[in-house]
Amino acid sequence: MSESRTAFASRYKAVTWARSVLVSSHTPILVSVIAALVVMLYIALFRNYRVNTSIDTQFYLSHSYNYCINGIELDVIFGNVFPFGQGGTIAFGKLAAILQCAALTPFNWSLVAANILSVTGVVLSKIVIFAFLVNQGFNRLGAITFCLALAATEPFVAMANQSKYEYITFFLAVCSLAVQARGQLVLAGLISVLAIEVQPIGIMAPIYLISYELCRIFQSRVFRVDFARVGARRRARSRGLFHLTPRHSDPSGRGFGPCAMGL
């Protein structure tokens, strides 16, 4: 019996080692394939995403152009009035308008250049997320895979293929989270405020910070629950109660169970 157990254990170790070698050797290849598929997706949708149904690119670029070139903060093209619409840059979006103006003016406000700027913003956001995940203890391949999977989802594809302000808002939000993870709370708060200035949805940036800080506090030693120790105490308490509980007995002298359970 002992020899068979030893042989089984050795075979199990060999299979486990072989599986780990195969997984470790094929994982970089799989990640590369996923990356290639995501790149192909973005190339296929470049300048082809909702071209006939969405006016968001023209909508936001008009705000930026009027603010930077003509000095107009109101939405004089589409006529929306804040707070019943974006209303130009009268309340939000001045930072995004300045950024788009600096990047697009040398290219004569080309739509292709605006699309490339959006894709660049999404890529930079993924780089920040990757750095945040690695800082939190995730391995590099897992962090890359997560970022690629996130980039392939529809919200990020839409963000990359429209010149709205969302890619700037999201980039600032994840930057504030990554900065806070490194202990720079004041700087993280300031960056989250910039995200709110770009768009009202930037209010999610301080929510990210608060959620992360609460998780960090609850995972600290003061609040951490040692589930193994709690389980051991409960098992010991159960054994003590079991032995203290009166038990029925049959003619053979063996107990059937605790009286309290009615067995």
Q: Could you read off the pLDDT of 219-258 as tens digits, one per residue?
A: 776 555 555 666 667 666 666 555 555 554 445 544 444 4
Distance of CA 35 to the CA centre of its chain: 18
Q: Does 235 lie in the same domain as 198?
A: no
pTM surpassing 0.75? no
- Answer yes or no: are the C-beta atoms of 162 and 195 closer than 8 Å: no
Q: Does 231 lie in the same domain as 207?
A: no
Q: In DSSP terms, which residues pair with 249 in a beta bridge?
A: 255
Q: Does 190 lie in the same domain as 82?
A: yes
Percent of the chain with pLDDT over 90: 35
Evaluate whether residue 100 is within a structural domain. Answer: yes
Q: Does 235 lie in the same domain as 115?
A: no
Q: How far apart are CA 132 and CA 205, in angstroms?
A: 15
Q: Does 187 lie in the same domain as 77?
A: yes
Give pLDDT tens digits for 137-163: 888 888 999 999 999 999 999 899 888
Pairing of strands 247-249, 255-258: antiparallel
Q: Does 241 lie in the same domain as 204?
A: no
Cβ neighbors of 103 (< 8 A, separation 6 or more) are 113, 117
SS3 51: coil
| Residues counted in the chain | 263
Q: In DSSP terms, which residues pair with 255 in a beta bridge?
A: 249
Q: Does 247 lie in the same domain as 182?
A: no
Q: Does 117 lie in the same domain as 235?
A: no
Q: Does 134 lie in the same domain as 249?
A: no
Count up the domains in the chain and report the number: 2
**Residue by residue, what is the 3-state secondary structure of 17-43?**
HHHHHHHHHHHHHHHHHHHHHHHHHHH
Evaluate whether residue 105 is within a structural domain. Answer: yes
Q: Does 238 lie in the same domain as 108?
A: no
Give pLDDT tens digits for 34-85: 889 999 999 998 888 877 777 778 888 888 999 988 888 887 777 777 777 6
**CA-wise closest residue to 103 among 115, 91, 86:** 115
Q: Does 211 lie in the same domain as 83?
A: yes
Q: How far apart are CA 254 and CA 112, in angstroms?
A: 85
Q: How far apart are CA 69 and CA 80, in angstroms?
A: 20
Strands (E) in 41-165, as ranges, are none
In this predicted structure, the answer to whether residue 128 has a pLDDT above a threshold of 70 is yes
Instruction: Give the domain range for residue 76.
Output: 50-218
